[in-house]
Structure 1
Amino acid sequence: MGMLVRALYDHLKEIAWALFLILFLLACLFVIFGRELGFDSVLWVCLGFAAIVLGLFGMLILGELIWIAIGKVWRRLFLKKE
């Protein structure tokens, strides 16, 4: 594995941690505001935010996986083996 691929895998781990922390924060907000405003109304707001966050992070992860695949194909096709 090249340095670029290792760096991208490390970045994917950082993205996964950020996603976990954001979803954990949303769950905490659901519990806090659910007690005050009612769990039924707060549920849909938190699920909406979670869907937006998952969509954004999904695009980031998909983009990085595509970039890793392009890098591997590029190396096999055009770089000489030493």
Structure 2
Amino acid sequence: MKLTIRYFAGIREHLGMTQEIVDIHAPGITVEGIRETLASRDTRSAQALQTHRPVRAAVNLELVDGAFVVREDSEIAFFPPVTGG
């Protein structure tokens, strides 16, 4: 399933990118599952998306929790709990 992943604030700075398109072959994957999948790619991703670090998520511009199930062609945004302008 193709997903657009957007990164904000400190996560964006740590990864050095604002967004990417990923193809994840996992129907019924949750936001937390996507976060874990992305974090497992390399050391930099693991540090930016650590599961013990508080990270908020939005799917298609709506705040969601980690249990939210993502559908094809969704846009998922990850950002720290408090972000500035």
Q: TM-score range by the shorter chain?
A: under 0.3
TM-score by length of 2: 0.24
Higher-Rg member (1/2): 1
RCO comparison, higher one (Cα < 8 Å, 6+): 2
TM-score by length of 1: 0.25
Structure 1 or 2: more helix by fraction: 1
